[in-house]
Copies of this chain bind each other. A is one copy, B any other.
Amino acid sequence: MSTVQTELQPIEQKFMDYVKEITQLGEAIGLMGWDLRTYAPKKGVEGRSEVIATLSSKIHEMQTSDQMKEYIDTLKGQTDHEIVQKSVEECEKDYNQARKIPTAEFKEYVALQSKAESVWEEAKDKNDFEMFKPYLEKMVEFNKRFAEYWGYEKHIYNALLDNFEPGVTVDVLDEVFPAVRKSLTELLQKIQNSSVEVDASVLTGHFPKEQQQAFSLEILKRMGYDFDAGRLDETVHPFATGLNQGDVRVTTKYDESDFRTAVFGTIHEGGHALYEQNISSELAYTALQGGTSMGIHESQSLFWENFVSRTKAFWQNHYDLFLEHAPESFKEVSFEDFFAAVNEVKPSFIRIEADELTYCLHIMIRYELEKALISGEIEVGDLPELWNDKMEEYLGVRPTSNKVGVLQDVHWAGGMFGYFPSYALGYMYAAQFHNTMKSEIDVEGSIEKGDFTVIKNWLTENIHKYGKSKKPLEILEDVTGEKLNANHLVQHLSDKYSKVYQF
């Protein structure tokens, strides 16, 4: 925040204290969530989940209370204090989102959500879409109704998008996504026509967990991740979580037959964590304390993963360090083979296993389908077939079952419609940030030297420190001087793969 802040008036202080309490409850929930996914013994899970539910409703009560309404009405536009003003706006948004949904309906929805997630899990295991279908139908119905309650301009799906990426609309996406899709599918074609054979099997030798961990920790440290304000633990589905600014934790997963899971996963989550660790301390425990959106958050993790750790410059500097930690067998892998292998492109069924190029295509399929579902152009029953058709069209592979097709992601079961685009936006934002960064500092030189300080500082100064005090597209435009522009992503991928696959 750049303006000089005046001292708080009593009513402002009361409001900020009230908000602080909400964030504190959130911190307690955050720790319980981290614990459930790392260390909690299984018999404690049921009770702990109920505690999380109780604290979550306390937050909900506070966010939608008459007291909150009074603060909003009193302070909105009536405060000279920028943090207070923007906090009021955030709170008003939450207040409206929650109050517009009738309480009974919301309760029903929350109950359905957890039921739908558990049914989804079973349906996925059993490869049984029909089992999941009625639940998904209900989730779609609820989300359509909520979108109507919330209101929107032009397209109903905008109401949902706004929950995850404020300011981004169907118009924005529909201008950008199809062109990117076309470029990416062309690029994919070139790669598939290339005579270069990339052999990723050189990477899948046995790699003991302890050694993967030591290497991952070293890279996190070099990235500038502050271990006095965080830690690295093991989990099944890796995540980063900002409990408070001095406690931002990273988790990872070790696959002893594929070190990429842990190494690139840790760097990815480390990118999220750097964001949360470097938000301005004056935003701590305010409504502006977190990252500003899913998309900007993802741009940070993807920046480190794809624009730093999958580059030639990175591995030129770090391959010796890698070999020091790697088992003997890796020492026979040449640098060139290694580098090509970590950049292999290979269309596959599963999004979370996708490479840097095909990932966005996975996202576009989901975006197109969920937009059509919400607007009523298609039915839930159409999904499996449409999913597979699009996979075949965009990626050239047709899922052999719904388990590896439409049933693979939890998001829809949890009612998260409007979330998927953030992943693709993250790629595009990251490429745009990278493009600007290159014109201001010596990015490649910094990566070559293995000293990421200037990169980390650039990200902090331009993005991290603002927390939620700037909206995603505001940050994008302030930093890059451009609106959403996918050309930088296409250019980046094209540059990279034309070298790897020599076309």
CB-based contact A226/B28 at 8 Å: no
Contacts of A40 in B (CB 8 A): 247
A43-B246, A47-B247 known, 14 other contacts, Cβ within 8 Å: A21-B54, A25-B54, A28-B55, A40-B247, A41-B228, A42-B246, A43-B245, A43-B247, A46-B246, A47-B244, A47-B245, A47-B284, A48-B247, A51-B244
Report the bound CA distance from A24 to B35 in whole Å.
16
- The answer to whether the Cβ of A227 comes within 8 Å of any Cβ in the partner chain is yes
CB-based contact A41/B244 at 8 Å: no
Identical subunits present: 2
Report which A residues bind B (CB closer than 8 A).
Answer: 21, 24-25, 27-28, 31-32, 35, 39-48, 50-51, 54-55, 226-231, 233, 243-247, 249, 284-285
CB-based contact B27/A226 at 8 Å: no
CB-based contact A41/B231 at 8 Å: yes
**Quick one: closest B residue to A23, CB to CB?**
B51
CB-based contact B51/A246 at 8 Å: no
**Quick one: closest B residue to A244, CB to CB?**
B47
**Shortest CB distance A137–B (Å):** 33
**Shortest CB distance A182–B (Å):** 46
Report the bound CA distance from A245 to B44 in whole Å.
7
A-B complex: 4 closest residue pairs judged by Cβ atoms: A44-B247, A43-B246, A47-B244, A43-B229
**Quick one: closest B residue to A44, CB to CB?**
B247
CB-based contact B284/A41 at 8 Å: no
Contacts of A39 in B (CB 8 A): 231, 233
Contact of A230 among B41, B48, B55, B231 (CB under 8 A): B41
CB-based contact A44/B226 at 8 Å: no
CB-based contact B43/A24 at 8 Å: no
Contacts of A228 in B (CB 8 A): 41-43
CB-based contact A28/B51 at 8 Å: yes
Contact of A226 among B31, B43, B46, B244 (CB under 8 A): B43
Which of A46, A227, A246, A285 has most chain B Cβ within 10 Å?
A246
Contacts of A245 in B (CB 8 A): 43, 47
Report the bound CA distance from A231 to B45 in whole Å.
13
**Quick one: closest B residue to A45, CB to CB?**
B246
**Quick one: closest B residue to A29, CB to CB?**
B28
CB-based contact A247/B21 at 8 Å: no
Report the bound CA distance from A85 to B42 in whole Å.
32
Contacts of A247 in B (CB 8 A): 40-41, 43-44, 47-48
**Quick one: closest B residue to A21, CB to CB?**
B54
* Pairs across A and B, CB under 8 Å, 7 listed: A28-B32, A28-B51, A31-B32, A40-B247, A41-B230, A42-B246, A47-B246
Which of A51, A243, A246, A284 has most chain B Cβ within 10 Å?
A51
Contacts of A43 in B (CB 8 A): 226, 228-229, 245-247
**Shortest CB distance A302–B (Å):** 25
Contacts of A230 in B (CB 8 A): 41
CB-based contact B244/A44 at 8 Å: yes
Contacts of A27 in B (CB 8 A): 47-48, 51
Contact of A246 among B25, B44, B246 (CB under 8 A): B44
**Quick one: closest B residue to A245, CB to CB?**
B47
**Quick one: closest B residue to A38, CB to CB?**
B39
Contacts of A28 in B (CB 8 A): 28, 32, 51, 55
Contacts of A21 in B (CB 8 A): 54
**Quick one: closest B residue to A27, CB to CB?**
B51
